[in-house]
Every structure is written in structure tokens, then in C-alpha cells.
Amino acid sequence: MSETIQADLTISELAMEKMRAERNILLQNTDKYALSDYPHSSDSVKQTWITYRQELRNLTTSQTPSLDSDGELINITWPTEPS
């Protein structure tokens, strides 16, 4: 494998790991909304949180992250957090 292809794989892997780390923080920050005894105002509100968290978990299969020249994540459409 050429050095250029190897470097691209490493950058892709780094972007995926960075996306996972940011995703994991978002999941951790919303763990409370997934608890069965969290006092949601309605079942539909509860479902929006369940859907949002599933969309976060699906990012690794639905997105192809990359890094810009500053090492920041690009090419990701993050799900919108329920309000």
C-alpha cells in the first residue's frame, strides 16, 4: 500500500474516532432522558429523545467524517437535539 493511501486511511480513522468521541459526549449528556422514570411531559417528547439518541448511535454508519486543515471535523450532519 502506498504511503499516500496509508496516510488517508489514518486521517479517515482519526476523523471517525473524533466523531465517536463527540457523539459519546452527546449521548452521555442525554442519558437521563433515556431513563424509564425520567418525567417527560408526554410520550411523544420521550420518543423524540429516544429517536435523537438512536440517530447519534447511527452516525458511525450514516456519516463519513473528515478533518479540515485545522483538524476539525467536517462532512457530518449531526442530528438536532430535541428542545
Tell me what percent of the chain is helix, strand and coil, each rounded to the nearest 5.
60, 5, 35
Distance between alpha carbon 48 and the CA centroid of its chain, in Å?
Answer: 16
pTM score of the predicted model: 0.85
CA distance 81 to 69: 28
If one compares 57 and 12, the residue with the highest pLDDT of the two is 57
At 54-75, the pLDDT tens digits run 999 999 999 999 999 999 999 9
Neighbours of 33 (CB within 10 A): 17
- Report d(CA 68, CA 55) in Å as an integer: 24
**pLDDT band (50, 70, 90) for residue 8:** low
